[in-house]
Chains A and B, each alone.
Chain A
Amino acid sequence: MADAAPPSKSRDLDKLLLRPGNLVGPTFDPGVQLRDDLQEYARVLVVGAGGLGCELLKDLALSGFKNLEVIDMDRIEVTNLNRQFLFRLEDVGKPKAEVAAKRVMERVSGVIIVPHFCRIEDKDIEFYNDFNIIALGLDSIEARSYINAVACSFLEYDSDDNPREETMKPMVDGGTEGFKGHARVIVPGVTPCFECTIWLFPPQVKFPLCTLAETPRNAAHCIEYAHLIKWDEVHSGQAFDPDNPDHMKWVYDEAVKRAELFGIPGVTYSLTQGVVKNIIPAIASTNAIISAACTLETLKIASGCSKTLSNYLTAMISTVKTALCRYNGVEGLHTKVTEFVKDKDCLVCGPGVLIELDTTVTLKK
């Protein structure tokens, strides 16, 4: 079979696809047809053009995907440049999605990347339905919840409460913070969705008001006191702007005063910015690893399917019992792969609970 195929630029990918291998599922049928499908028909959306997004676009393009789109509402800042390698100092201020798309197209021939400089909520639901796979490079739980809800909304169940394969919209989700990161695959109806497993995320830090107001114990408490309580007391009406250096300096000075009052060390300007803006510490190498892991999963999904999702579904079940892969670069190294079970009662991806309601009943009751 390999002899008959015309040589392609990506010889190593040819080797993967033109012979049966273990990287794809049992129904996978290797051949030139499929390789062309991969490159010409697979449409992948990358959500986010930041630390993960830049790496994802590069990896997907180099791996042979020809039709990519990227969506990001942010503009480039100086602090992005330590890891978002597609951006230069002179790009500061420009939309991330547009610069990222342009740079990758310059470096990888044949790929088309359409940028969208807007919020994910600004797009019609149907926009997302256009893609075969959605790859997420997001930095918040809220954004992930949103995309998850959108992707799961396409899922339909048949009369036996079985998910209909052709309505499944797979997502590959990556997340990083400092040395740590995760890469996971979500296939609505098959694997747990994001909401099924939301308990996996560490509790988000939110200090009780009484701690801030009465009994601070650490530097972050002092900072948040100045930010959330003292600011309004003094500047009633004027909104706090985290991008205004004078506002930030004011919060810092107030935090220092409070810290001195309670004998708490550790308030610095850098920490103040970090706490107020909820800055996520980030480095290039972790993003590179997690994005690559996501790309591998995206390749597995795409190469296991022809034009419908049904062929790769069986591939999904065997290759992606590994629903979650975690990376920790600081204590030696762990790449742990864990199996999770879908929550059949999940409100977002489950078939739903049948409620029989008397139409005379109102909400008040």
Chain B
Amino acid sequence: MNGEELTEQETALYDRQIRVWGADAQRRLSKSHILVYGMKGTVAEFCKNIVLAGVGSVTLVDDREVTDEALSANFLILPDENLYHGKTLAEVCCDSLKEFNPMVHVSVEKGDISTFGVEFFGKFDAVVISCCSLAKKKLINQKCRKLSKRVAFYTVDCRGSCGEIFVDLKDYKYSKKKLEETVECQLEFPSFEDTISVPWKALPKRVSKLYFAMRVIEQFEDAEGRNPGETSIADLPGVLKLRKELCETNSVNESQIPDALLERLLIGASEYPPVCAIIGGILGQEVIKAISGKGDPLKNFFFFDAMDGKGLIEDISEPKPVS
């Protein structure tokens, strides 16, 4: 977008949301660049929300081919084989997203994201990754953290009727409204690697069981060399064995991570459309807050389980030393 002021077209189109977050936030959004990896249903929802919000650009990375499975939860893909044949997931989603808001620059980046250098990530204000192995999550997070500029980092994953978001904003200064006045705040976010290294025993007992269950499945996929989401009920014995080991190492009771929950996550490797919409909506909101620098960000994990309909925020970080 040229110039500092919003154009007349933007002011008309964004009227209803400018009334929510103000013209200043809208300007910042229109200058922001978002990188998105892994175009499954949840990420498709997220992209819809930020494109409608009017970010500057969205760059999509996903070289996988379109499959029947992708069609069932991804609204961006028209179920016409003639249209999607020969195209990658990113390419098909790109075409759709452009229609939602012609003012947003939507493009595709091809290649293996693990090989992209630090400077590549430096082009973005926010990086959102999904369908990523444990190793890839750590790697991309580290690259983002190496930059002096703050690049907001998010992972998002849905397994069946459960979803998880992780947020890393490094050292984050922002403002928020408290009663009549505006207050300046600051938060320090741990990296993904540091977060998952926090000993389980150090965490409060009431921490969402989903946190632990997701970590078990994640490590199982890592140990077995599986692509993210490539699990089935046949893996349950192996997963239960890993749970036993991890709980012993962490000195916590195995009942912290119920069998039934692990089963649901193993079977539900594909996504449940309403859960995609909820997680994609929450993630959209978080990215908008981070770009505009207003409002308390989610720190640092969010969990949703469609069974009870509850959304939980968990702050998984090293407990502060008692002075």
A binds B: yes
Chain A residues within an 8 Å CB radius of B15: 79, 82, 270
Contacts of A82 in B (CB 8 A): 13-17, 52-54
Asked if A293 and B309 sit within 8 Å, CB to CB, the answer is yes
Q: Which interface residue of B69, B77, B161, B271 has the most chain A CB atoms within 10 A?
A: B161
Nearest CB to that of A177 among chain B residues? Answer: B20
Question: Within 8 Å CB of A270, what residues of B?
Answer: 15, 18-19
Most chain B beta-carbon neighbours within 10 Å: one of A81, A178, A285, A296? A285
Contact with A along B32-53 (1 / 0, CB 8 A): 0000000000000100110011
B155: CB under 8 A from chain A?
no
A15 to B233 CA separation, bound complex (whole angstroms): 11
Q: Please state if B309 and A325 are interface contacts (CB–CB under 8 Å).
A: yes
Cβ-defined partner of B277 (8 Å) among A16, A289, A329: A289
Number of contacts between A and B (CB, 8 Å)? 164
Query: Shortest distance in angstroms between A179's beta carbon and chain B's nearest beta carbon?
Result: 7
The distance in angstroms between the C-alpha atoms of A34 and B281, with both chains bound, is: 30
Asked if B73 is at the interface (CB within 8 A of a chain A CB), the reply is yes
A95 to B41, CA, bound (A): 28
Does A359 make an interface contact (CB < 8 A)?
A: no
> A329 contacts which of B69, B79, B285 (Cβ < 8 Å)?
B285
Q: Is B185 an interface residue (CB 8 A)?
A: no
When the two chains form their complex, are residues B277 and A12 in contact, meaning their CB atoms are under 8 A apart? no
Within 8 A of A (CB), among B236-277: 267-268, 270-277
Name the one of B68, B78, B267, B310 contacting A107, with C-beta atoms under 8 angstroms: B78
Report yes or no: B160 in contact with A333, Cβ–Cβ below 8 A.
no
Indicate whether A23 sits within 8 Å of B295 (C-beta atoms), given known contacts A55-B277, A78-B12, A79-B15: no
User: A78-B13, A283-B53 are known contacts. Are A288 and B306 too (CB-CB below 8 A)?
Assistant: no
CB distance from A308 to the nearest CB of B (A): 25
Q: Are A282 and B16 in contact (CB under 8 A)?
A: yes
Interface centre among A22, A178, A270, A284 (most CB of B within 10 A): A284
- A288–B310 touching, CB < 8 Å: no
Given the complex of chains A and B, what is the CA–CA distance between A333 and B311 in angstroms? Answer: 8
Q: How far is the CA of A327 from the CA of B69 in the complex (A)?
A: 30
Instruction: Point out the residue from B72, B275, B277, B309 that lies within 8 Å of A10, measured CB to CB.
Output: B72
The smallest C-beta distance from B280 to any residue of chain A, in angstroms, reads 6
Tell me the complex Cα distance, A65–B77, Å: 18
A283 to B21 CA separation, bound complex (whole angstroms): 9
**Which of A11, A89, A179 contacts B270, CB < 8 Å?**
A11
**A335 B311 Cβ-Cβ under 8 A:** yes
Task: Report how far A7 CA is from B64 CA in the complex, Å.
Answer: 23
> Looking at the complex, which one of A88, A178, A284, A330 makes contact with B99 (CB distance below 8 Å)?
A88
- For A58, what are the chain B residues with a Cβ–Cβ distance below 8 Å? 75, 277
Given known A15-B268, A62-B73, A283-B16, contact A289–B281 (CB-CB < 8 A): yes
A289 to B100, CA, bound (A): 18
Q: Please name all residues of chain B whose beta carbon is closer than 8 Å to the beta carbon of A125 when the two chains form the complex.
A: none
A135-151 to B contact mask, C-beta < 8 Å, 1/0: 00000000000000000
Asked if A276 lies at the interface with its beta carbon under 8 angstroms from chain B, I say no
CB-nearest residue of chain B relative to A320? B309
Distance to closest chain A CB from B300 (angstroms):
12
Q: How far apart sit A351 and B121, CA to CA, in the bound complex (Å)?
A: 64
| A109 sits at the interface (CB 8 A) | yes
Say whether A322 faces chain B, with CB atoms less than 8 Å apart.
yes
- Point out the residues of chain B lying under 8 angstroms from A295, CB to CB: 273-274, 277
Do A281 and B161 touch across chains, with their CB atoms under 8 A apart? Answer: no
Q: How far is the CB of B227 from chain A (nearest CB, A)?
A: 17
Interface contact A12-B160, CB-CB below 8 Å = yes
Q: Mark B292-312, 1 if CB is under 8 A from A, else 0.
A: 000110100010001111110
B213 — which chain A residues lie within 8 A by C-beta?
none
CA distance A283 to B272 in the complex (A): 23
Nearest CB of B to A139, in Å: 12
Which of B12, B19, B102 has the most C-beta atoms of chain A within 10 angstroms of its own C-beta? B19
Tell me how far the C-beta of A207 lies from the nearest C-beta in chain B, rounded to whole angstroms: 20
B99 to A, closest residue via Cβ: A88
Q: Is A63 an interface residue (CB 8 A)?
A: yes
Picked from A23, A62, A284, the residue with its CB within 8 Å of the CB of B284 is A284
Contact: B17 with A292, CB < 8 Å? no
Residue numbers in B under 8 Å from A12 (CB-CB): 72-73, 160, 268, 270-272
A23/B161 contact (C-beta < 8 A), A85-B52, A109-B79 known: yes
Asked whether any CB of chain A lies closer than 8 Å to the CB of B134, the reply is no
A9 with B68, Cβ < 8 A, contacts A296-B306, A335-B311 known:
yes
A299 at the B interface (CB under 8 A):
yes
Q: Is the CB–CB distance between B49 and A285 below 8 Å?
A: yes
A281 near B52 with CB under 8 A, answer no
B139 within 8 A of A: no
Chain A residues near B161 (CB-CB < 8 A): 16, 23
Any A CB within 8 A of the CB of B288:
yes
**A residues in contact with B77, CB < 8 Å:** 107
Q: What are 9 A-B pairs with beta-carbon distances under 8 A? A: A10-B72, A12-B73, A12-B160, A15-B160, A15-B268, A62-B273, A279-B19, A284-B52, A292-B274
| Additional A-B contacts beyond A179-B285, A285-B282 (11; CB < 8 A) | A63-B273, A85-B48, A270-B15, A283-B53, A284-B52, A292-B273, A293-B309, A296-B274, A299-B274, A322-B309, A333-B311
For the complex of A and B, the 7 pairs showing the least CB-CB separation, nearest first, are A292-B277, A288-B281, A281-B19, A289-B281, A62-B273, A335-B311, A285-B284
Binding site for A on B (CB under 8 A): 12-21, 45, 48-49, 52-54, 68-69, 71-73, 75, 77-79, 99-102, 160-161, 267-268, 270-278, 280-282, 284-285, 288, 295-296, 298, 302, 306-311, 313
